[in-house]
Structure 1
Amino acid sequence: MSLRSKTLATWLALTGGSLGLHRLYMFGFKDKLAWLHPLPTLAGYYGLQRMELLGQDDRLAWLLIPLLGLMLAQAMLQAIVYGLTSDEKWDARYNGGKASAPSGWAAIIAVVLSLLLGASALMATIAFGSQRFFESQVEAAQELSQ
């Protein structure tokens, strides 16, 4: 088993974590969770494409788009966890106690970017989902009153 780089794992989670690239790097191609990441990510992206094409009234789109936001947020959280793990804990957990290269500033920069992108994705997902939920409630109340 080769040594796993904390910096590389953090950047993979930041750039391709919603597709499971960080899990493929960490645990290999037999990791079942890594292969489950693309499904909700692509479904959310499909919802985004539907909304662009059909507008905001498409109910399937507003059910699928939060999947994309949640997958992005979880990937950013994983990048933050990887990046903030101490080098000693990282080596003990993923490298069998063998010392790897120190992570340095590259991992910290990835953590900062992950915090920015993850918080933005999560806030946008909550705002979008809440807006669509309350709009559907207003529509239902209007239909009942007619």
Structure 2
Amino acid sequence: MKIVPQYVVSLTYNLYVDKDGNEELVEKTTEEQPLTFLYGAGQMLPKFEEELSSLSTGDSFDFRLSAADAYGEHDEEAIANLPKEMFTEAGLPAIGAVIPLQDQNGHRFQGQVVSIAEDAVLVDLNHPMAGQELHFKGQILNVRPANDEELSHGHAHGADGHHSH
């Protein structure tokens, strides 16, 4: 079947990024644990979905997303000074630790601790893959129409359409 919006896509991929001139594998899915998502529901990077738009079950793919089309360029300004009082319960995080945060609108995101000052914890809010070109290689395993429950929930419920428990 061909990939179209409102269909559930299951695929495997290897994701590579450039490290000092060499491609390094940073993420991988398998046929046993594929990436399964509702196509066109806004869960995936728009350019990622665009690259898959002409494919069908069984097709292979190999494409690159520029940093701008992936997680954006690295923003030197995206550093937050968090007051140390925020960490009294959990204790101060280690430098390099990735901590869960939430903005005033309830959006959850992660930041990486870059340093700890006298009264504040400095956190880099860039996505860990910001500023990197992403290279995806993989294969479309299955394409099927989404069921009513998946459409109403706005996400896939696994390769066969059922929640796994």
TM-score by length of 2: 0.24
- Larger proportion of strand: 2
TM-score by length of 1: 0.26
Structure with more relative contact order (C-alpha pairs < 8 Å, separation 6 or more): 2
